[in-house]
Amino acid sequence: MSKLQSFLESALQEKNRKDSAHLGNRSLYIGASDIAGCPRKAVLARTQPVRFDTRTLLKFARGHAAEDLVAQIFQAGGLTPQREMELIHPDYPFLECHVDFHFRFRREDGRGRIHVLELKSTDGIPGEPYGSWINQLHVQMGFVRLHNPGWEITGSILAIDLNSGAWQEFNGYAPQELVFEVLLNKGIQIWECLQDETLIPSVETGLLCDYCPYRMGCPAFAGEVAIHQEILSLAESYLRLYARKAQADRDLKKLKEDILSFTGSAFRGATEDVLLAAYEVAPGEMIDAGLLKERYPEIYEEVKKEKAGFTRLDIKRVKTQAQPNAARQAA
């Protein structure tokens, strides 16, 4: 590692500390992101803290950069929402949240409205917001409603991909008392697990499990794993797209055959918009690795080279009596 890279990694740790200073001592309270995520992770993050790697810290920094950028855009357009508003539950002081952007408006009839905007920096904009994002927003809206009785509360999630220069707002959210109560109880249970070591926190799987530093030894991944609804939805989308891909391959093959029936094996033509060419590709040669290994094992050992492995994904429909031909497999 170069001196510059070593310096940058050390400085990145300090930047993360400063960027998160407004959150205070996270060991003294349970935040909205803890409640929205996995209870086991929330507990272990306080009892067995880990040092974030560079990859994670860069993502944190990207998130702060995205928030600063959006704040500047709001300001340029004449809006000045309050940033990182801290709200503490009046009955459970160990529960609190920090609202990314807090807007206050007055309607013409004099009624007040508060809009809560949660910002998420992502790699690619999802088709719909993740469940943990929605839960975090519901925690925030619930806290805002507790502190502003009589006000209309609305919320939305702004997902922004700085790499591709794209963003998408997921709007139309409002506080739901039952949802907030369930999430509130979850936060209380996380806190109780921290106060009593004999209590075992529950486990919730999701899209962020791959990034969890406590995945090793997680009971959710012991034996046959139950598929989280979010992952199941992605698998269903994968199957649908894979089926369309297979059909597209068949359609392309038929179209190619029809076109070649006209062009033959030697053709070149063009219009203003399309270039069409057909030509023969000369036969070539390749090494039969199996035969080489069998007949000349010494030479095979000298010329072979390692091939990188990859992760194979198999998704298929479970055959039932009602759907005998519904099985599909994607690799």
Whole-number Å distance between alpha carbons of 183 and 220? 20
Give the burial class of 312: count Cβ atoms within 10 A of its Cβ; 0-12 exposed, 13-18 middle, 19 or more buried: exposed
Terminal CA-to-CA distance of the chain, rounded, Å? 37
* Nearest partner of 184 among 156, 152, 142, judged by Cα: 142
Residue 268 has a pLDDT of 92
**pLDDT tens-digit series, residues 91-128:** 999 999 999 999 999 877 778 999 999 999 999 898 88
SS3 assignment, position 93:
coil
Q: Which CATH architecture has domain 11-226?
A: Alpha-Beta Complex (3.90)
Tell me the C-alpha to C-alpha distance, in Å, between residue 154 and each of 34, 138, 297, 298: 22, 10, 71, 72
Residue 327 has a pLDDT of 42
Whole-number Å distance between alpha carbons of 7 and 10? 5
Domain parsing of the chain, residue ranges: 11-226, 233-330
Please, are residues 13 and 58 in contact by the beta-carbon 8 Å criterion?
Answer: no
Phi, psi dihedral angles at 234 (to 5 degrees): -65, -40
Residue 329 has a pLDDT of 45
Residue 180 has a pLDDT of 96
Q: Return the DSSP state at 163.
A: T
Q: Which residues of the chain have pLDDT under 50?
A: 322-331
Residue 275 has a pLDDT of 93
Q: Is the pTM of this model over 0.85?
A: no
* Nearest partner of 102 among 78, 120, 118, judged by Cα: 118
